[in-house]
Amino acid sequence: MHEQKVIEGVKVVTYKVPQAYSVYIGIWIKAGSMYEDKTINGMSHFIEHMVFKGSKLRSAKQIAEETDSIGGQLNGFTEKESTCFYIKVLNTHVKQGVDILFDMVFNPAFKEEDIQKEKQVIFEEILTELDSPEDVAYNLLFKTIWKGHPLSFPVLGTFSTIKRISKEQILNYYNSHYTKDNIVISIAGNFNEDIYEILQKHLSKIQKNNTTLQLTVPVWHKSTAIYEKDFEQINLCIGLPGITYDLRKVYALAAINNAFGGGMSSRLFQKIREDKGLVYSIYSYPSTYQQAGVFSIFASMNANNFKKVYSLILEEIEKVHLKGLEKEEIDKFKEQLRINVLMDLDSISSRMSTIGKSKLLLDRVYPVEEILNIIDNLTYEEINDLAKKILNPTDITISVVGKLNKRDKEWLINANNT
């Protein structure tokens, strides 16, 4: 069972796993591309990199060496709505692990020479992403759907925005986001009660800032975007308006996704890959945010198969929109969803992430029993009503990355405008 506390004005959520040997300690911050404007796009991710470059007490090398000396694992990641830093340590090394993590995150050096060096690292990361057709297609899809809104920004930023970032801008963004009222500490694993005293010592030093982060609701744009690049395959992304955070709808949509394109027994995989052999990769995926959501479908194929694949995906969308899903499908994928929730309990890192992100974005942590109860009580009609609403071909936005011939390009644009 999870436990929630407020220590020194900071929300702390924990989940004890007595049979484990390790502890995951996570710091979650409301800092991501969603909170940026176009002049500082990529700032959240850049700061995530910079805190690993050293604090005012430890160099980057000392952070690495101290972490290794206790067998710890230190990492971080940035998403559209959050940044997370975490350390995994043996339960006998919690004090040292917390000390390293909090010093790194809340006492960064931000040296000018490190800023310039790390810009080169980010440039390489952007180049790597540009070599991934799937990443390019998804970034183009979000840019097309939410033109100009922060949700449309790439998490990594762009060459021009990263190049222009100054130390002053870094400090301004850091000081307004890395504050007591904008963070959550999540801990999962085998820990003792003295962890709260250890946390109090560190949390008391974090600054408070009552600035409320304002989020604006994005407007959905139906459009078709084509980016010509010399990839081996055509990479297709289809986006449909999704949902915001609502637990019943989140799990209803998860069941819909599993049935439609979320796995090897889904409709898309079985019909287009297994039966027709037209693609290697095809799947659907729901992305949910505080102000909007998107249900996306991705497929990569030989250019000669593009029209067939697109038409077959559209056919499946229209089938669900008109008739919904079969009761047998819903029963099967509800049970799969239930099993996935239970199996996730075996992962301590998953527990740390789930409780931390939920507390940060929703200000609530849902017990597993409540989640299972929601899944069990989702009705056939409720799931199908949502499926018919989400899988609506009139709201399609498309991105295509690759060498599409002129005839197929014109056909696609005309098809999506009708």
Predicted confidence (pLDDT) per residue in 370-396, tens digit? 999 999 999 999 999 999 999 999 989
Query: Other C-beta atoms within 10 Å of 208: how many?
Result: 11
Specify whether 186 is located in the same domain as 292.
no
Q: Are both 254 and 146 inside the same structural domain?
A: no
Tell me how crowded residue 278 is: count the other CB atoms within 10 A of its CB: 18
pLDDT higher than 80, residue 212: no
What confidence score (pLDDT) does residue 258 get?
95
The residue-averaged pLDDT of 19-41 equals: 96
Does 217 reside within a domain?
no
In this predicted structure, which of 30-44, 207-221, 272-286, 327-341 has the lowest mean pLDDT?
207-221
Is the same domain home to 403 and 269? yes
Q: Mean pLDDT throughout 11-15?
A: 97
Distance between CA atoms of 223 and 87, rounded to whole angstroms? 42
Same-domain check for residues 400 and 258: yes
Residue 219 resides in a domain? no
326 in the same domain as 410: yes
Stretch 109-119: mean pLDDT: 97
In sequence order, the β-bridge partners of residue 121 are none
Looking at the fold, whether 253 and 282 belong to one and the same domain comes out as: yes
- In this model, does residue 199 exceed pLDDT 80? yes
* Same-domain check for residues 273 and 373: yes
25-59: b or e for each residue (b if 16 or more CB lie within 10 Å)? Answer: bbbbbbbbbbbbeeebbbbbbbbbbbbbbbbeebe
Instruction: Give the other-Cβ count within 10 Å of 233's Cβ.
Output: 19
Residue 264 lies in a domain: yes
Residue 146 lies in a domain: yes
pLDDT at 215: 81
Q: Give the mean pLDDT of 88-107.
A: 97
Residue 38 has pLDDT above 70, yes or no: yes
Answer whether residue 417 shows pLDDT above 80: no
Residues 246 and 354 placed together within one structural domain of the fold:
yes
Answer whether 305's CB lies under 8 Å from 278's CB.
yes
Q: Is residue 133 part of a domain?
A: yes
Tell me the average pLDDT of the chain.
Answer: 95
What domain range is 330 assigned to?
A: 224-417
**Distance between CA atoms of 403 and 405, rounded to whole angstroms?**
6
Angstrom distance (rounded) from CA 43 to CA 38? 10
Domain stop point among 156, 171, 203:
203
Note the pLDDT tens digit of each residue in 233-263.
999 999 999 999 999 999 999 999 999 999 8
Confidence category of residue 209, pLDDT binned at 50, 70, 90: confident
Domain boundary among 142, 168, 203: 203
Residue 180: pLDDT above 90? yes
CB-based contact 168:115 (threshold 8 Å): no
What number of other Cβ atoms are within 10 A of residue 388's Cβ? 16
Q: What is the per-residue pLDDT for 418?
A: 64
Share of the chain above pLDDT 90, in %: 91
Q: Do 287 and 362 belong together in one domain?
A: yes
Backbone angles phi, psi at 309, to 5 degrees: -65, -50
Residue 248 inside a domain? The answer is yes
Instruction: Compute how many other C-beta atoms are within 10 angstroms of the C-beta atom of residue 304.
Output: 11
The closest alpha carbon to 177, from 112, 251, 94, 82, belongs to 82
Q: Is 218 contained in some domain?
A: no
Q: Are residue 239 and residue 295 in the same domain, yes or no? A: yes
211 lies in some domain: no
- Residue 174: per-residue pLDDT: 96
Residue 91 has pLDDT above 70, yes or no: yes
- Percent of the chain past pLDDT 70, that is, above it, reads 99
- Tell me which residue has tokens 């992403």: 129
Per-residue model confidence (pLDDT) at position 207: 86
Give the end of a domain, one of 143, 171, 203: 203
Over residues 54-70, the mean pLDDT reads 97
Residues 170 and 258 placed together within one structural domain of the fold: no
Which pTM was predicted? 0.94
CATH of the domain at 121: 3.30.830.10
Q: Are strands 10-16 and 73-78 parallel, antiparallel or unpaired?
A: unpaired
pLDDT tier at 277 (50, 70, 90 boundaries)? Answer: very high
Any idea which residues carry the catalytic annotation?
A: 48
Do residue 266 and residue 413 come from a single domain?
A: yes
Q: For the residues 198-224, what does the mean pLDDT come to?
A: 88
What per-residue confidence (pLDDT) applies to 345?
Answer: 87
Look at the chain and report how many structural domains it folds into: 2
